[in-house]
Amino acid sequence: MPLEILLVLVVGGIVGVTVTLHLTGRSRVRELTPDIARSEWLRHAPDDVIIDITVAHDRHSALIRTNSGNGLLWSFGADTVARHLLDFDWMEHPQGFEVQFHDFGTPKVIIRLDEFERRHWRHLMEPA
């Protein structure tokens, strides 16, 4: 098969899969509600007992309070990522907070919060 035809087939296939995923809604970022955040957190950390859930107004992140400490859940495409807030630094970011984990697998995440949410989340994230 000539290289030109193979190239057209490969590019056409990639474009076709991308368009199909987008049209079927599989490319949307996962939106969180308290119930979805609870089930997603328990999928990542099944042994935790959840005390409280605070979902951000943009519905793409949630602060989870558990019996073993606070945790952060955020949307990563159509899936979610969950991390306990054990070894991390957070700093102000123009859009909210930047949380830097001391973990090679999850170096940082930007949590988008409005001004009201920043104060509330800052209070919840501060160590006791």
Listed by start position, the domains of the chain span: 1-28, 34-125
Q: Which stretch of 11-20, 25-34, 79-88 has the lowest confidence by average pLDDT?
A: 25-34
Question: What pLDDT, on a 0 to 100 scale, did the predictor assign at position 57?
Answer: 94
The structure's pTM equals: 0.78
**For residue 6, is pLDDT > 70?**
yes
- Segment 95-121 shows an average pLDDT of 89
> What pLDDT does 127 receive?
63
> Is pLDDT of 25 > 80?
no
Q: Which amino acid is at 38?
A: R
Mean pLDDT, to the nearest integer, of 58-79?
91
- Give the gyration radius of the chain's Cα atoms: 19
Residue 65 has pLDDT above 90, yes or no: yes
